[in-house]
Every structure is written in C-alpha cells, then in structure tokens.
Chain A
Amino acid sequence: MHSHSVDEERWDRQKTRDSFARFAVASQRKAASELPDLEFDQLRNELVVAHLNLVRYLAIKFANRGEALEDLIQVGTMGLLKAIDRFDLERGVEFTTYATPTIVGEIKRYFRDKGWAVKVPRRLQELNLSVNRAIEKLAIKLGRSPTIPELAEHLHATEEEILEAQELGQAYNLLSLDTEVSGDGERKSQTLADYIGTTDAGLTLLEDKANLERAFEVLSGRERVILYLRFYENVSQTEIAKRLNVSQMHVSRLQQKALEKLKNVLQE
C-alpha cells in the first residue's frame, strides 16, 4: 500500500465505487429473483480480492496477541464479506472507512471466542514466573545480572513482553481474596478468603521466606550465587569452586561469611 501513488489511489477508489454500484444492482436483482446470479458472485469475489490488503494490514496489527496471522486474516475476511454485503454507497463514506471497524470487530470477537481474556493474563503470569527463574539462571551462568535482550532470547519472547511481564505479570499473581474458586450454582460459591483458617504453619513459613528474601539483599552477588548453588541446587563446594574458578577453600570461607551475615540480619 505504501507504493501506491496518489493517482493510483484515486483510481482505485473510483474503481471501488463503480464496483459497488454494479454490485448494488446485482444484489437487488438477486433478491428479487432468488436464483443464483453469476454476476453477483463474481462482483462479490472481485470486491473481496480488491480489499484483502486491508484485511492483511489490520490482521498484522493484532498478530502479536498470540494467534496465528493466517487465522486472523481468515476471520478478518469474514468481516470484510459482512462489510461488503452491508455497505451502502449512498451514505457517502469510503468503503475502507466503513469496513475497518467491521473487520476489527470480527478479529476481536475471534480472540474473545478463544478465551483470550483468560489466556493472556495467564501467559503474562507464567512469563513473569519464568522471567524470575531465568534471571537467577542467567546470573549464575554469566556471573552478572542479565540484560533484557538476553532474557528475551532465553525465553523466546520479545523484549517488550519481558518488560510487560515484569510490570503487569506480578499484579496478576495477586489474586483477590474475594476471587471465587468454586461455584456450581447450588452451593454458595467459595472464595479464597473462605479457605484461610486460623494461624497456619504455611503462613509462618511464608513469613520466614519473606524475611529470608529480605536478608538475602545484604549479600553480594557472588555470595548469593554460592548459597543458591549450595542450598537450592545442592551443588558441592568443590563443584561451585570449579564453576566460579576459585579454590574450594575460598568457597568455604565465602559461604561461612554469607551465612553469618544472614544470621545477623535475621536476628535483628
């Protein structure tokens, strides 16, 4: 469409108007006779073909939402057909003006039918979790904090998705206490709040975990890596030494120091 000159555009529009004028006549004739009408079918096909570029242009705009472009073009073409059948030259608007909302509407309905409103927050949430895991993994591998492009490559996502997953994904993890978790119409549906009993050992553990996470902030990057490998991944000191290219004695000292730091913070 970029390559079209203004003259070509004008000519295209005139041609489109002529086609629609002939199509309107054919439509009326078809409605009156209720017989198959060759010219009607042919004009309709021509109009569809002439506007496939518009469908494609619009479908591409929605292609980053996780559905195949071919499918979007297909449903967009359904929208185009509807627009062709309903378009009225007398209204004095360009066909593209008229067809755009119809095509977009059809594409958006397709996403809704696919349960997209549920799937996307879930994907963001999952991406948010995997981003956090990938940060740790890459930090160990690279010996420094990874960059956004590195994370994107590692997770086969776009850089924008990574940023968004970090920003928005977190929010979707925080389920409201009033979120209904079950409900079959007869029994009163239950919310998450209903599941919370009295003092729960799990909650205390959660608190410990939060404290520990805060305490971890006092450690240097290398100390964190060592504790992570030693206690989460169960890697031996000798192996850690090899990976960090230092002596096993050094790892032992660093681990000792890190544990003491943690103990001091947690006792405060």
Chain B
Amino acid sequence: MHERTAGTVELRIPCRAEWVAVARLAVAAVAHRLNFSIEDIEDIKLAVAEACTNCILHATGSQQIEITCETHEDGLTVHVRDFGSGAAVENIRSAVHAEPQVGGLGVFLIRSLMDSVNYDVDPKRGTSLVMTKKVYD
C-alpha cells in the first residue's frame, strides 16, 4: 500500500496523437500510487486520453499539452491544458453546451468516467479541463 500524500506531477507532451500513450501511462502510474482500483485506473486513463485528443482536435496552433496531476488524500485531480489560441475556450464551450461532435462526445464520456469535470479559465494561460476522481478503500 502506498501512503497517500499531497503532491504534484507535471508532464508536457507534444500536441500530437502519438504522444497520448505517454500521458496515459504517466497518469496511470500516479493513480496507482493512490491505490485506485484497476477499473478506476482504466477510467482515468481513458478520460485523460479523451482530454488530450480534444486538445489535438481543437487547439489550433498549440505545440504542447500540459498534464498536471494533483494527488490529495481522497483522490486525484488532473488538469489537461493546451496553449492554443483563445478559440480553444469557445471550442470547449460549444462542445459542452450545444455541439455534440466528436470532441463534445469526448467531454460527455469524461463526465461519465470521473466524479467531476470543470473548466479552469485563465486568460493568460488558456483553458484547461479539470477532472477529479475520488478513491474509495
């Protein structure tokens, strides 16, 4: 059993599909240290992959995706941020509210896998998808 302590793990990957597996594995390793069940770890991996895919499909001009894992006593919070133009904000909004295109479906899928999904809007740093999953043991 690993002891659950607060900590942050940051990862930046190129904004391209072939790097998504690296994010999946890194986040899986972090989740594993929090004693998530194998099912939860698979769900978290899928959610992170979907969020990264969203960045790749919608973030025009972004070179990198930043994935930040925050571990806390009762679970894991993952921020997935791209550095695309401001249009990214609009893309996410429309994906959530009206247009159930593939990216939008990705967000619905993430919602059904994680405990909470939000957007963290920072005018300087862009928009990130913030998702949290609680660990039960």
Residues on A facing B (Cβ under 8 Å): 1-2, 4, 6, 9, 13, 54, 57-58, 61-62, 65, 94, 96-97, 100-101, 104-105, 108, 111-112, 116-117, 120-121, 124, 159-160, 163-164, 167-168, 171, 176
Partner of B100, one of A58, A96, A176: A96
Chain B proximity of A177: nearest CB distance (Å): 11
**Whole-angstrom distance between the alpha carbons of A168 and B29 in the complex?**
8
Question: A101-B111, A167-B29 in contact; A1/B99 too (CB < 8 A)?
Answer: no
Evaluate contact between A104 and B112: CB separation under 8 angstroms: yes
Across the interface, A100 reaches (CB within 8 A) one of B1, B21, B105, namely: B105
Using A1-B101, A164-B25 as known contacts, say yes or no to A61 and B109 having CB atoms under 8 A apart: yes
A160 and B21 in contact (CB under 8 A), knowing A58-B109, A100-B112? Answer: yes
Query: Is A163 touching B101 in the complex (CB atoms < 8 A)?
Result: no
Contacts of B99 in A (CB 8 A): 6, 9
Asked if B46 lies at the interface with its beta carbon under 8 angstroms from chain A, I say yes
Majority-rule SS of A interface residues: helix
* B72 smallest CB distance to A (angstroms): 21
B111 touches A65 (CB 8 A): no
Query: Total number of A-B contacts with CB less than 8 angstroms?
Result: 69
**Which A residues lie within 8 Å of B102 (CB)?**
1-2, 57
Q: How far is the CA of A159 from the CA of B111 in the complex (A)?
A: 28
- Name the B residues within 8 Å of A159 (CB-CB): 21
Chain B contact-residue range equals 20 to 34
Report the stretch among B31-39, B83-91, B119-127 that lies at the interface.
B31-39
Check B42 for interface membership: any CB of A closer than 8 A. Answer: yes
Contact call A167/B25, Cβ cutoff below 8 A: yes
| Contact in complex: A97, B108 (CB < 8 Å) | yes
In contact, A160 and B32 (Cβ under 8 angstroms) = no
- Contact for A105 among B37, B105, B112, CB less than 8 A: B112
Judging by beta carbons under 8 Å apart, are A61 and B46 in contact?
Answer: yes
The smallest C-beta distance from B97 to any residue of chain A, in angstroms, reads 9
Task: Decide yes or no: A120 and B38 within 8 Å by CB, A1-B102, A168-B32 being known contacts.
Answer: yes
Most buried by A among B37, B38, B50, B104: B38
The answer to whether B28 touches A164 (Cβ under 8 A) is yes
Minimum CB–CB distance from A69 to chain B (whole Å) comes to 15
Contacts of A105 in B (CB 8 A): 112
Find out whether the CB atom of A117 lies under 8 angstroms from the CB atom of B38: yes
How far is B111's CA from A105's CA once the two chains are assembled, in angstroms? 12
- How far does the Cβ of B59 sit from chain A's closest Cβ, in whole Å? 17
A121 to B35 Cα, complex, angstroms: 13
Determine how close the nearest CB of chain B comes to the CB of A178; give it in whole angstroms: 10
A44, chain B: closest CB distance, angstroms = 21
